[in-house]
Amino acid sequence: MSKSNLLILMVDQMSGVLLDDDMINLVHMPNMHSLIERGVRFENAYTSSPLCTPARASFMTGQLPSRNGVYDNAAEFAASTPSFAHYLRGLGYQTALSGKMHFVGPDQLHGFEERLTTDIYPADFGWTPNWERPLDRIDWWYHNLSSVTNAGIAEVSNQLEFDDEVAYHAKLKLYQYARRIDKRPFCLCVSFTHPHDPYVARQKYWDLYKNDDIPLPKISAIPYALQDAHSQRLYDAVDYRSFDIDDVDIRSARHAYFANISYLDEQIGDIIAVLDHCDFKDSTKILLCSDHGDMLGERGLWYKMNFFEYASRVPFVLTTDDPSLAGKTISTPVTTHDILPTLVELAGGSVEELACEIDGKSVLVLASNTEDPQRAAYSEYCAEGSVAPMIMIRREKYKFIYCPADPPQLFDLECDPLEKNNLAERDSHMAIVQEFRDEIQTHWNLDEFSADVLHSQKCRRVVDFANRQGRFSPWDYQPPSSSHDRFMRNHMDLNVVESNNRYPKPNE
């Protein structure tokens, strides 16, 4: 039996909340709607860590940051840690990446045979946080709120230029696969940087929405003194005192965010059209996911870096061969580090035979059978805005957030989907809080975790400082570019070139 091809469509900073019933029709995204109708949607899917690099490393390795050591946006992804791309190549797959994955360190492939583009973000240690001085702002790379106050329309931007290239190379690669010169099944990961801020969109997509129809946050900005401890740190991290954010700014930023999802949706539709045109539709599983979400002004918070639903819940949709599963919704919590074992299982591999211990579990049994009330989603955060490791556990209706430096938080998401009421200090919920505390005690050694993060930060700061003295040798990926073996050259057989590079071939 032939193996399915795998197409992974990864977007950046798209909140899973936008797929909820009260939000999904606000955003013009017909192609994502189509995937949802064809596939299984995991409505309570969470990021492994609400920040780009640790989220993506967990997606690649099936491991939480505490296990793989990728703690923040400047933490090295070790070349010795197997990724799903390594496992799939071992199972006979071609593997390629078009777009962002924010690998930090000298290994910029991590199992992919090909990277079709460079990355949009740096690969060095320059963005290393410092828990020895955790409340200091690092102005040259920390977020501030200028993305909100400068939101609007532009026909080209850093991000748009990047994602145009990502889509182009993804479509070209599918045509190359269609020629079937290499008979192996493929895993193509297409990873965009939108709708990640800055909130700047093309006029074409902006005009899909009326500004007055863009909803304002369900919870308006909470005064600093009334915020929880971590949210106060995030207010400081984005330099909120230097900006006066009003409803016009908020609506413009959200308008651009929605417009950029529509831009992405069109790119995704074009890629799927090429997939179908190349006769891959019935032989390809498609996974749609995001690395983390975006607060979009809810509670006065922007971007990510916390465990509230807008930032931590993500889209997660998987198409299957079973038409009876089309349009199915799964409520059991899952995470993005569940993707590696899921892909391995789809590729015919054995999760029990993986080289390294992982934290993820395949979602295929959930997709095809019943819900699992005991299954939990775990997430960690230990990057900018934090002062110690932060842990989130989502099980059934409860979300528990714990940090040794802060008061705990417990939310009943069935009764309180907007997370307004912290139940952690209420006598009626003390037993539940204790159960979650015991679970954290069992699964994590937080003193050791904190010490590992501090040690990693200190070492990386030394290396980064030294690397910037004298000649700087960057690790950023440089896609190979040679014209010697493209198109027609005199060391090639013209008939072979024309035959190999044509799709469809004559008489097919």
Q: How many residues does the chain have?
A: 508
Q: Is 52 a catalytic residue?
A: yes
Catalytic residue among 28, 33, 86, 102: 102
Task: Give the torsion through C-alpha atoms of 215, 217, 218, 220, to 10 deg.
Answer: -140
Residue 215 is classified by DSSP as P
- b/e code 158-197 from CB counts within 10 Å (16+ = b): ebbebbebbbebbbebbebbbeeeeebbbbbbbbbbbbbb
Tell me how crowded residue 427 is: count the other CB atoms within 10 A of its CB: 6
- Among residues 52, 187, 278, 382, which one is catalytic? 52
User: Is 102 one of the annotated active-site residues of the chain?
Assistant: yes
Residues 418 and 411: beta-carbon distance below 8 Å: no
- Where are the alpha helices (H) located in 154-283, listed in sequence order? 158-178, 203-206, 229-237, 247-277
Distance CA 49, CA 336 (A): 9
Bridging pattern class, strands 390-395 and 376-381 = antiparallel
CB atoms within 10 A of CB 445: 11
Other beta carbons within 10 angstroms of residue 90's beta carbon come to: 14
C-alpha–C-alpha distance, residues 192 and 225, integer Å:
37
Which amino acid is residue 277, in one-letter code?
A: H
Q: Decide if 281 contacts 38 (C-beta within 8 A).
A: no
DSSP state of 378: E
Helix (H) or strand (E) run with residue 22 in it: none
- What DSSP designation does 80 have? T
Q: In what order do the strands lie in the sheet with 316-319?
A: 114-115, 94-99, 186-195, 5-12, 284-290, 316-319, 39-42, 328-330
Residue type, 86: H
Q: Would you state the structure tokens that stand for residue 134, as one six-digit string?
A: 């955790």
Q: Which residues are catalytic?
A: 52, 102
